[in-house]
Chains A and B, each alone.
Chain A
Amino acid sequence: MSEATLYGLCGAVLVGLGLFGLIVHPQPLRKILAFNLIGGGVFLLFGVVARRGAAAGFGGDPVPHALIITGIVVAFAATALAIALLLRLFQETGRATLGSDG
């Protein structure tokens, strides 16, 4: 098994783990955290595709690398917006939950 395949399998498990956390954790902050965990796994899977495309003297295909960098930055922007929404919810209601008002 090549190192690329190894990290690919690692990425596959990370996506599953993150998805589990996203579903079972009731706190929104834990969901945001789990979603970022999924993101890491997806980027790793894409990185494996890049690594397998090593050619022309490059260690990997630079096009996926650039897309992953873009992805990491956009994921951060989305996380910052999600956290700002969550903190505003807490400020307004004193609670940080997605449950319906019982």
Chain B
Amino acid sequence: MAFDSGLAVLVLGVAVWTIAARDTFAAVVGFVAYGLLLALAWVRLAAPDVALTEAAIGSGVTGGLLIGASTRLRRTETAAAGEEPGPTLRLAAAVLCVLVSAGLAAIVLMLPEPAPTLAPQAAANIAATGLGNPVTAVLMAYRAIDTLLETVVLLLALVGVWSLAPDRVWGGFPGPRHHADPDGVLTFIAQLLVPLGILVGIHIFWVGSVAPGGEFQGATILAAMWILAMMAGLVDAPPVSRRWLRLLLIAGPAVFFAIGLAGFAMAGAFLAYPVEYAKLLIVTIEIPVTLSIAATLALLVAGPPERAPHR
């Protein structure tokens, strides 16, 4: 309990820092720390799968994206200082936010007893999925349609990001070309970490069927390794018009959808799996989905095309 109280105070502390810091870059660094501390809180709440996701995506990849944006927007910092709202608006906002927090706190204190739960149903049917991790069973079997739509949402976000490219660079290379010192620390770390990170990513994905982990966490680590290699200048981001890249991006949702449709023939419903092939089908979906998510996440961080394709 003392640990939990201390952790909650730390989380609130870095949250206040993230809001109050004058410098945006400092606020972003606070946000990354906030994500990592929240991941600890998730472990304490017996949700290791969520903890992995929060650390990898909520803190890691989002942090990288925000750090990149804050360095690019640094010049606009001073101009924005003159637009700060007056004391009346700040006071009104503070009152509103205290009311919202108090309302939510009251709801937390008045949650029904005993708590409603679907855990017994999840446990009762897990044998039919062939999986050992209940969260993966929810993601890939019970609520597979949510996960299918989620992979589509990621693709739509990427289409949105790409569509922001100016016409002259359409189909070109995302983001600036990174050049790091070939003898520098970043290059060294990238060369050392990328092969290891790829192994860790594949491991986290593979154990997801029986232990904490899964396609989103594994894919994020794979994406992070690709981003690191791009940042260190070891590889360049591929032009967004490449056929193989487009196929890689849609492979996951396409296989997912195809097996979902085959569910009508095999088990009588969309995304239904026949019991004897359930695990095989789930893994068949998960492998391309992991690769597609990894590519999509990395390209979301890389941003819209900024350099024209070679003609």
A interface residues, Cβ below 8 angstroms from B: 3-21, 23-27, 29-30, 32-34, 36-37, 40, 43-45, 47-63, 65-70, 72-81, 83-88, 90, 95-97, 99
Cα A76 to Cα B299 in complex, Å, equals 12
Q: Number of B residues whose C-beta is below 8 Å from A?
A: 94
Secondary structure of the B side of the interface? Answer: helix
Interface centre among A33, A74, A75, A86 (most CB of B within 10 A): A33
Q: Is the CB–CB distance between A81 and B118 below 8 Å?
A: no
Q: Are B164 and A96 in contact (CB under 8 A)?
A: no
Q: Which of B107-163 contact A (CB under 8 A)?
A: 107-109, 111, 115-120, 122-124, 134-135, 137-139, 142-143, 146-147, 150, 153-154, 156-157, 160-161
Find out whether the CB atom of B19 lies under 8 angstroms from the CB atom of A37: yes
Complex Cα gap A50–B45 (Å): 9
| A4-B45, A61-B117, A76-B297 as given contacts; A52 in contact with B73, CB under 8 Å | no
Report yes or no: A19 in contact with B97, Cβ–Cβ below 8 A: yes
Q: Bound state CA distance, A80 and B229, in angstroms?
A: 20
- Whether B69 contacts A83 by the Cβ 8 Å rule is yes
- Smallest CB–CB gap between B227 and chain A, Å? 12
Chain A interface mostly helix, strand, loop or mixed? helix
B20 CB → nearest A CB, Å = 8
- In the complex, how many angstroms separate the beta carbon of B148 from the nearest chain A beta carbon? 11
> A-contacting residues of B (Cβ < 8 Å)?
1, 4-5, 8, 11-12, 15-16, 18-19, 24, 27-28, 31, 34-35, 38, 41-42, 44-47, 49-50, 53-54, 57-58, 61-62, 65-66, 69-70, 72-73, 76-77, 79-80, 83-85, 89-90, 93-94, 96-98, 100-102, 104-105, 107-109, 111, 115-120, 122-124, 134-135, 137-139, 142-143, 146-147, 150, 153-154, 156-157, 160-161, 164, 214, 216, 293, 297, 300-301, 303-304
B157 in contact with A40 (CB, 8 Å): no
- Known A-B contacts A6-B4, A18-B19, A62-B137; the reply to A73 vs B53 at CB < 8 A is yes
5 further A-B contacts with Cβ under 8 Å, apart from A43-B54, A70-B139, are A29-B24, A34-B19, A40-B15, A63-B122, A78-B157
Residue among B28, B49, B119 with the highest chain A CB neighbour number at 10 A: B119
Q: A7-B41, A17-B97, A37-B18 are in contact. Are A70 and B76 (CB under 8 A)?
A: no
What 10 pairs between A and B have smallest CB-CB spacing?
A: A59-B46, A53-B117, A16-B101, A8-B108, A12-B104, A52-B115, A77-B157, A62-B134, A26-B83, A56-B123
